[in-house]
Structure 1
Amino acid sequence: MTDKNNVPNVSQKRVKLRRIGVFTSGGDAPGMNAAIRAVTRAAIANKLKVVGIRRGYQGMIEGDFIPLKSADVSGIIQLGGTILKTARSAEFRTPEGREKAWLQLQKADIDAVVVIGGDGSFTGALTMSQEYNISFVGIPGTIDNDMYGTDYTIGYETALNTVVCAVDKIRDTAVSHGRIFLVEVMGREAGLLALNSGIACGAEVILIPESKEQHDELKRFLDKGYKNKERSGIVIVAEGDEPGGALKIAEAVGRDHPDLDVRVSILGHIQRGGSPTANDRINATRMGIAAVDALLDDQKSVMIGLDNGKIVQVPFNKAVKLNHSIDTGLLDIQKMLSM
């Protein structure tokens, strides 16, 4: 059916849904609660019932479900973490585990599901949707910002600001004591958090998994620093950097430069916590509403993303199989400014 301008009537495309599930999976990220809130209220506005699935796929297997009403998501937009909890589930990786999850969804009359997480979470959703013909729509929630097809993942900006704040404080003591600090940030397979935080903090060297040449930069910096008696500095290290992270690198630096005072600071899980920034709240809200719209439009196995500020839908098989590239030209900027 079309209107007088021959534009398809969107309402006619929408499928009949009664109840949707929403859950968070994998590592937590600031802004997940904002996404839960948006999904819940957008669904209710479209006359749908909402079920919160606690503890990710493991909670799905165990039927750990709670009804969500508008009041249940009041006052959570500013909170870090996730009110639905999160977990990793080895059992869900098995056909038997996914069958249990499917039976629990059927028992609860859940017609479709919104999953908030990263590539591992979306891989599980893709597999289950193929096996049981149930619609999953994903919202990218990961501080690594490493998902293909989207410029932005929920939690990245908050984590970036957390790193910058911490490193600014570390630099104060580095300068005061004439020390070189190796600061390890999260990013097992992706170095975007390390790269951008390093630029924002004015780091002398940035070590990321995507560039092995940076270890030559570290050697040049240490040799130059020793020669010029400039003994303080910040080296940002992504945890997935090839030698094994900041501790391993510090051991090697200590052997080669015993005269330098080298310290290690591993920021760890403070990067995951904290109240989300305005952008993380806004984008989580936009993506949450878009996820409900996608389900109503009978979309299946797609991730909601942002491309140049606009909402896009990316098939799961692309989001999880294709690599998110980083702009290594930013390393050239860092080299120029750390002269």
Structure 2
Amino acid sequence: MKRIAVLTSGGDAPGMNAAIRAVVRAGVYYEKEVFGVYEGYEGLIAGNFVKLKVRSVNNILHRGGTFLKSARSEEFRTPEGRKKAIKQLKKKEIDGLVVVGGDGTFTGAMKLSEESGIPIIGIPGTIDNDLAGTDYTLGFDTATNTVAHAIDQIRDTALSHNRLFFIEVMGRNSGAIAVRSGIAGGAVATLIPEKDMSTEALIKKLDKGGKRGKTSSLVVVAEAGSPGRTYTLADDVKKSRPEFDVKVTVLGHLQRGGSPSCFDRVLASRLGVAAIEGLIDGKKDVMAGIENDAVTYTTFKHAIETPKPVEEEAFRV
């Protein structure tokens, strides 16, 4: 294992830069050559490599996004596209690859490893916290802090005008962000894909608060694969209770940006080191994660295909 490459793919997440930094510096520590691949799998196909040294990753620990850029590649989904990527890896004499991303990234990594034989280790970088084999994914903590801050600001307006605010947060198939931020923001209700709540049940909950003299409310809604679905929900509530002054805020990509929290910086650094040490130890086709504060390695297949349940205790709270 002499040459290792690292790339970021899929949606960006706070902490990706910190992970790249850790991969590079751990690689140099173990006397390996480390190469960055610009623009994810698209850059891998194009051979867009750059050699990274210790100073190449200076002053990026605190920055959001990914300086290596990220891109979704339709060509990489095809066997022909992956053949081009394998050709570029062999041309650069890459012995191991570290990929930072979510389920789509790991699906591609699994196929690439099968077809090339090159050992690949993944670092879970997604704000949704929806991958099995790790308690937390990069960006989740930062995203929930961002949402909690936004809810605090929206609450000021809600209280000033006696309004009902619906706040839509990210979470394609996961209510993790909604549950955590719902607790932190004091939401009267939290709607997530894992738990059904009808419009009628929500209205009853809102009515109950009204009877107690509650004049403003916040409802957190996970997008659940349909960004903007909250507008339909808000319209349904408005039709049933026209006396409510209903407003909708969709936080969208605001949740992806910003400087990573201390938690995400530490998590990224631990996982970056774990990825390099895993490759050196002969591991492949696995995701590095942290469970019960210990480094673990989980197969890509398990990480992708095993449903990660919602935190039942947190939802109960």
TM class, shorter-length = over 0.9
Equivalent residue for 2:293, pick from 306, 309, 312: 309
Partner in structure 1 of residue 83 of structure 2 = 99
Q: Distance in 1 between matches of 2:135 and 2:180?
A: 14
Structure of larger gyration radius: 1
User: In 2 relative to 1, CA 216–314 (structure 1 residues): closer, same or farther, beyond 3 Å?
Assistant: farther
User: In 2 relative to 1, CA 244–266 (structure 1 residues): closer, same or farther, beyond 3 Å?
Assistant: closer
Partner in structure 2 of residue 280 of structure 1 = 264
Give unpaired runs (5+ residues) of structure 2.
none
User: In 2 relative to 1, CA 145–243 (structure 1 residues): closer, same or farther, beyond 3 Å?
Assistant: closer
User: In 2 relative to 1, CA 120–267 (structure 1 residues): closer, same or farther, beyond 3 Å?
Assistant: same
Partner in structure 2 of residue 324 of structure 1 = 308
Equivalent residue for 1:223, pick from 193, 207, 232: 207
Partner in structure 1 of residue 106 of structure 2 = 122
* 8 Å CA contact 1:20, 1:113 repeated in 2: yes
Partner in structure 2 of residue 264 of structure 1 = 248
* 8 Å CA contact 1:207, 1:215 repeated in 2: no
Partner in structure 1 of residue 133 of structure 2 = 149
Shift of 1:145: 0.8
Q: Distance in 2 between matches of 1:95 and 1:68?
A: 29
Q: Distance in 1 between matches of 2:140 and 2:203?
A: 30
User: In 2 relative to 1, CA 295–232 (structure 1 residues): closer, same or farther, beyond 3 Å?
Assistant: same
Give unpaired runs (5+ residues) of structure 1.
1-16, 334-339
* 8 Å CA contact 1:243, 1:249 repeated in 2: no
Aligned-residue identity in percent: 51
Q: Distance in 2 between matches of 1:300 and 1:319?
A: 14
Q: Distance in 2 between matches of 1:193 and 1:218?
A: 19
Q: Secondary structure at the match of 2:62?
A: coil
**Aligned residue pairs, count:** 317
| TM-superposition CA deviations, 1:91-112 (whole Å, max 9, x none) | 1111011111111111111111
Amino acid at match of 1:237: V
* 8 Å CA contact 1:167, 1:201 repeated in 2: yes
Farther off after superposition, 235-244 or 67-76: 235-244
User: In 2 relative to 1, CA 181–300 (structure 1 residues): closer, same or farther, beyond 3 Å?
Assistant: same
1:41 aligns with 2:33: no
TM-score by length of 2: 0.97
Structure-to-structure mapping, 1:1-339, within 5 angstroms: 17-213=1-197, 215-227=199-211, 230-240=214-224, 245-333=229-317
User: In 2 relative to 1, CA 71–189 (structure 1 residues): closer, same or farther, beyond 3 Å?
Assistant: same
Q: Secondary structure at the match of 1:317?
A: helix
User: In 2 relative to 1, CA 294–216 (structure 1 residues): closer, same or farther, beyond 3 Å?
Assistant: farther
Q: Distance in 2 between matches of 1:119 and 1:221?
A: 35
* 8 Å CA contact 2:199, 2:237 repeated in 1: no
> What do you get for the CA RMSD once the two structures are aligned?
1.5
Amino acid at match of 1:245: R
Q: Distance in 1 between matches of 2:108 and 2:22?
A: 23
TM-score by length of 1: 0.90
